[in-house]
Amino acid sequence: MLRALIIDDEDHMRDTLIKLLELHCPDVSVIGQAQGVATGTGVIRDLHPELVFLDIQLKDGTGFDLLYNLPAIDFKVIFVTAYDQYALQAFRYSAVDYLLKPINPEHLMDAVKRAGQMIQKHFNLQMKALEENLKSVNKQHKKIIIKTTEDIHLLDLKNIISCESDNSYTTIHTSEGDKILVSKTLKDYEDMLAECGFYRVHKSYLINLLHIKRFERQDGGYIVLTNDVKIPVASRKRDELLQMFEKLAE
């Protein structure tokens, strides 16, 4: 099932789209709705959808304003609007499709099918990356140099439990209980450590797979690490991790 949100400032349009999806796109589950930029931003952050049907003209701004305000767009977008002059701008945001009101059911089915294919392809690539990460944990005998404003640390990769984003900085948590603040982004460390058994389970956290203690399903899912810290898991990452755990248990 594709977990979807509908963001439109017209109640009847949201109701109509829900009915069309129920009738023509049974693989879509509408998990939430919103009426504008502010409410839409909040529901996206709370529910972590895979697909968003987004109106362009909203009462408190535009759909483009909503996307611009998000730190990352980790879902597919299908724009829905009564106006066609926004098409070019819509596709600059890598929209899956652009539907004009009133919605043509065939166009809707085509757009949803395309979104599902794109999401599955992305999922398969991430699963492959996770499998490679699990195979590469033997590389953790390596050391890494961490430079701060005051010190230079030489750390064994196996002793790094997690890396936590702090805007343009990253805090490195070690098995000795150290917290080292470094003036590099989490993306820098993700690129550096991806082949050494580290995995980004959330936009704010990169974890060492060797230090996973257990997975807790409540509240959307948490990874508990060996230092007993709970790390939230993004919705897509949760499915990947669960599938990987099941494969390892076979």
148, 153, 158, 163: CA torsion to nearest 10: -10
- Domains of the chain as residue ranges with CATH: 2-132 (3.40.50.2300), 142-249 (2.40.50.1020)
Q: Is 7 helix (H, G, I), strand (E, B) or coil?
A: strand
The neighbouring-strand residues paired with 97 are 78
Q: Is 8 helix (H, G, I), strand (E, B) or coil?
A: coil
Q: Is 37 helix (H, G, I), strand (E, B) or coil?
A: helix
What is the distance between the alpha carbons of residues 43 and 46, in angstroms, rounded to a whole number? 5
Q: What is the pLDDT of residue 81?
A: 87
What pTM, to 2 d.p., does this model score?
0.56
Q: What is the pLDDT of residue 90?
A: 64
Structural contact between residues 51 and 2, judged by C-beta atoms closer than 8 angstroms:
yes
What is the DSSP-derived secondary structure letter of residue 185?
-
Q: What is the pLDDT of residue 211?
A: 92
Q: What is the pLDDT along the chain (250 residues), one digit of tens a residue?
A: 899 999 999 999 999 999 999 999 999 999 999 999 999 999 998 898 999 999 999 989 999 899 888 877 878 999 998 877 766 566 666 678 888 899 999 999 999 999 988 887 766 666 665 566 556 555 666 788 888 877 888 888 889 999 999 888 999 999 999 999 998 899 999 988 887 888 888 889 999 988 988 888 777 788 999 999 999 888 777 777 777 666 555 5
